[in-house]
Amino acid sequence: MNIFQYPSQPEWAALQQRAAQQQAQDVEQRVQQIFEDVRQRGDAALLDYARQFDGADLSGGLRVGPEELAAAAAQVPAELQTAIRQAHANILRFHKAQIPQEERVETMPGVTCWRRAVPVQRVGLYIPGGSAPLFSTLLMLGVPAKLAGCPEIVLCTPPQKDGLVNPIILFTAQLLGITIIVKAGGAQAVAALSGGTDSVPAVDKIFGPGNRYVTAAKQLATRYGVAIDMPAGPSEVLVIADESATPAFVAADLLSQAEHGPDSQVILLSDSLSMLEQTKAEVERQLRVLPRAEVAAQALTESRAILLRTPEEMLYFSNQYAPEHLILAVKNPEQLAEGVTNAGSVFLGHLTPEAVGDYASGTNHTLPTNGYARNYSGVSLDSFLKKITFQRLTPEGLLNVGPVVETMAEAEGLRAHARAVTLRLEALAGGEQ
């Protein structure tokens, strides 16, 4: 990590720059080809891609059968099962508190309006497999989808070379009560979810992370009328640390993000040069013993340690950067947190590592990256709900609000709008109800 001392504000923009995330034209073209192929050949295309990309023969079918699903639990260690169940309970408790209450409001006498939350009817959850099957992400997406009451939940995840789905993912799906599980990964899974095949129901909204092909596929899916959770990119963390922070803790937090992938980014801000230097040394020491050291080391090449003058200046920098994860490793984190305006999720104090949010504190780890925290929230129960407004007028209500509408509609030159009210007012005046 390079240390930058007291950069001027005009220099901040360069320091806040993410690694170039330009979508290669060949990626977009390849994804477009995959979409067209899946839409034309359906399941046959998915079977071919499973052989090509996953090395798996799925001639027995794309769906996970009840026997494979039931056998999964026996393959998951008891300690991990207990951990997953506890994480599930915490995530459920936090998201359950987000259930909206329907409230009827009388805006004027006889005019009643209300809003009702209705679940998205068909949702697709994409969970990467491979070397790091993200069963934690399945919890983060499956819990609110179930709480919202989505009638149809389709899980797509790539198969292993033996044609089976990772048993931890299947155990988690079983815990969540998800039964439609498709052995499909990559852009082809997103294509199937957006258009449907014999084995894959078409959905209304797609959730979940993935590589650049999956990201491009989700963006393409929106052109077919399918919604997605949010724009996604490489994972990132920004840590604000003062002299009270523990360098070993801060270094571990930085590396926990760096090991996600070579294009992840970590930023460290401090008003203490000693803290920056000690943390840099700790990063180098801890990096040597990580199984994913090569991946983390590559991510660190795009990472920065920056010396600023005050906590307020550090917070200003952070709000401009809009990190996915923000750690406040300072003396008074609650006080500093009051000024946070742009962040996906915030972790307060020296004993709150970002890793707890990734797995089990209860908050959702599906968060906006690449600066989108300026205008997007992370996944929540709301992500799986639509809000529909209702209104009803009594005769008194029409008499009260009708003239207001007539006046406004006439002023906009929309005579039919005004007449829709006028006819009813005339009917009321004539004794009709």
234 confidence band (pLDDT: 50, 70, 90): confident
Amino acid at site 272: S
Q: Is residue 266 part of a domain?
A: yes
Percent of the chain's residues with pLDDT above 70: 98
Could you tell me if 248 and 275 are in contact, meaning their C-beta atoms sit under 8 angstroms apart?
no
- pLDDT mean over 29-57: 97
The CATH number of the domain holding residue 301 is 3.40.50.1980
Query: Which among 187, 209, 228 is the end of a domain?
Result: 228
Active site residue: 236, 259, 302, 324, which one? 324
Average pLDDT value over all residues in the chain = 95
Triad 43, 45, 51: Cα angle to 5°: 105
412 annotated to bind ligand = yes
Domain that holds residue 399: 394-429
Residues 417 and 358 in one domain: no
Alpha carbons 400 and 396: distance in angstroms, whole number = 6
What secondary structure, in 3-state letters, does 361-427 show?
CCCCCCCCCCCHHHCCCCCCHHHHEEEEEEEEECHHHHHHHHHHHHHHHHHCCCHHHHHHHHHHHHH
Is 358 part of any known ligand binding site? Answer: yes
Whether residue 236 lies in the annotated active site: no
Q: Are 39 and 98 within one domain?
A: yes
Same domain, 399 and 308: no
For residues 62 and 60, what is the distance between their CA atoms, to the nearest angstrom? 7
Tens of pLDDT, residue by residue over 344-368, are: 999 999 999 999 999 999 999 999 9
| Cβ(319)–Cβ(340) below 8 Å | yes
Tens of pLDDT, residue by residue over 288-341, are: 999 999 999 999 998 999 999 999 999 999 999 999 999 999 999 999 999 999
Q: Which residues pair with 228 in a beta bridge?
A: 206
Residue 260 annotated as part of some ligand binding site: yes
Which of 259, 325, 354, 365 is an active site residue?
325
Is-catalytic flag, 324?
yes
